[in-house]
Amino acid sequence: MKFFVDTADVDAIRELNDLGFVDGVTTNPSLIAKSGRDILEVTKEICEMVEGPVSAEVVATDYAQMIEEGRKLAEIAPNIAVKVPLTLDGLRACKTLSGEGKMVNVTLCFSANQALLAAKAGATFISPFIGRLDDINLDGLELIADIRQIYDNYGFETQILAASIRSANHMSDCAKIGADVATAPPAVIKAMANHVLTDKGLAAFLADAEKAGIKIV
């Protein structure tokens, strides 16, 4: 499973990228606003840092404006994935932009039917939101499984990009289900390395090494 980092914080991206954990980046208007920087400027910097896809989202809601914004964003770098919302206008924009050879990430997916439409429209990525479904007592992971089954049934090439990840457990659960990609905040990706028994074992090893006077250099 590929790891995308869900942030516009270039320092956080650089840290994870140096560790080899970043296969791509996802941003959205909320994350761009949080960065306090110009969308074109920060997106360009991220694209220069990361080799994989970088999702940059349009802010328009009508087809014509989405196309204009999408083409503008795609000019930033060849690894831009234009992010559009899962509306009829967004699906129409997806079909046009993907037909032009651009990567398209269809976002805000909350049902298998929506994911099926996105695949038919030629989406490169579909972004089902796990955490937001869990917030309203629906099973976000079940949606990932449903989409996986449908896409496999018909050989759709659209990649399942699990989004709205809230925990390290979400990451491993998505991997078990067969999500192609999971995008998560930096803190969640780093938390995957944590385990209380690792900490306990390391403390014991270090204590024994100190008692025995073990030194390597």
**Secondary structure of 134-193 as H, E, C letters:** HHCCCCHHHHHHHHHHHHHHHCCCCEEEEECCCCHHHHHHHHHHCCCEEEECHHHHHHCC
Average pLDDT value for residue range 30-52: 95
Active site residues: 83
Express each pLDDT in 182-210 by its tens digit.
999 999 999 999 999 999 999 999 999 99
Tokens standing for residue 163: 């989004």
- How confident is the model at residue 91, as a pLDDT? 98
Instruction: Identify whether the C-beta of residue 90 lies closer than 8 Å to the C-beta of residue 84.
Output: yes
Average pLDDT value for residue range 34-58: 96
Express each pLDDT in 124-171 by its tens digit.
999 999 999 999 999 999 999 999 999 999 999 999 999 999 999 999
The answer as to CATH 3.40.50.150 being correct for domain 2-187 is no
Domain boundaries, the chain: 2-187
Express each pLDDT in 72-106 by its tens digit.
999 999 999 999 999 999 999 999 999 999 999 99
Instruction: Identify whether the C-beta of residue 27 lies closer than 8 Å to the C-beta of residue 21.
Output: no
Q: Is the pTM of this model over 0.85?
A: yes
